[in-house]
Amino acid sequence: MRVMSKNFENLIEELEILVKELESESLPLEESLEKYKRGIELSKICHEKLKEAQKVLVNKIEE
């Protein structure tokens, strides 16, 4: 998957761009749905990256 190699900040930036495009209300329905699906995918990946970072921090605190 190509997005897993992106860093968290790049993923958030892409997600913010998608949100702005969706908020513009000028997209055709089909394109809006594709962007929405992509946004959900990015959101899930960001969530996983945050969970991984949390595990690292918890492990460091417990050392």
Q: Which fold has domain 2-62?
A: Helix Hairpins (1.10.287)
Q: What is the pLDDT of residue 5?
A: 72
The answer to whether residue 61 scores a pLDDT higher than 50 is: yes
Q: What is the pLDDT of residue 63?
A: 87
Reported in sequence order, the residue ranges of 1-63 that DSSP labels E, i.e. its strands, are: none
Tokens 């055709």 — which residue? 28
At residue 6 the predicted structure's pLDDT band, cuts being 50, 70 and 90, is confident
The answer to whether residue 7 scores a pLDDT higher than 90 is: yes
> Which of 9, 2, 5 is closest to 38 using CA atoms?
2
CA distance 46 to 55: 14
CA distance 13 to 21: 13
Q: What is the pLDDT of residues 9-50, one digit of tens each?
A: 999 999 999 999 999 989 999 999 999 999 999 999 999 999
Domain ranges within the chain, ordered by starting residue = 2-62
Q: What is the pLDDT of residue 1?
A: 45
